């Protein structure tokens, strides 16, 4: 598989993961109606910063994709930690 194909495959996998997280958040929000909104955790802020930095450094593919990947991994870790804490 060519490099371009790998980038497309990685993008599709990340997009599906993000959509799945949003769907899970919506389902969870419906279950927890009436609860107060919570502030962002430091890990969420770091994930967001990495994703934004990845977009900004998009000219350098290795750096841009690397930062976006780190941001997505941090966001998933934060979601898992929040899920475990809520149980």
* For the chain, domain boundaries: 3-86
Considering the chain, what percentage of its residues have pLDDT values greater than 90? 18
> Measured between alpha carbons, how far is 42 from 71 in angstroms, rounded to an integer?
12
Residue 37 has a pLDDT of 58
Q: Over 80: is that where the pLDDT of 30 sits?
A: no
Long-range contacts of 8-12 (CB under 8 A, 24+ apart): 10/65, 10/69
What six digits make up the tokens of 80? Answer: 């898992």
Q: Over 60: is that where the pLDDT of 65 sits?
A: yes
Q: What mean pLDDT do residues 13-29 have?
A: 81
Q: What mean pLDDT do residues 45-57 have?
A: 88
User: pTM for the whole thing?
Assistant: 0.56
> In 1-87, where does DSSP find H-type helix?
3-31, 42-56, 61-86
> What is Dmax (Cα atoms) for the chain?
49
Confidence of residue 16 (pLDDT cuts 50, 70, 90): confident
Confidence of residue 78 (pLDDT cuts 50, 70, 90): very high
């Amino acid at each position: 598989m060519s490099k371009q194909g790998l980038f497309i495959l990685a993008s599709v996998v990340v997009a599906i993961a993000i959509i799945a997280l949003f769907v899970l958040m919506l389902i969870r929000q419906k279950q927890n109606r009436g609860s107060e909104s919570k502030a962002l955790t430091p890990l969420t802020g770091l994930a967001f910063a990495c994703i934004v930095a990845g977009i900004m450094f998009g000219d350098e593919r290795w750096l841009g994709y690397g930062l976006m990947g780190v941001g997505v991994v941090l966001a998933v870790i934060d979601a898992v930690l929040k899920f475990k804490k809520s149980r």
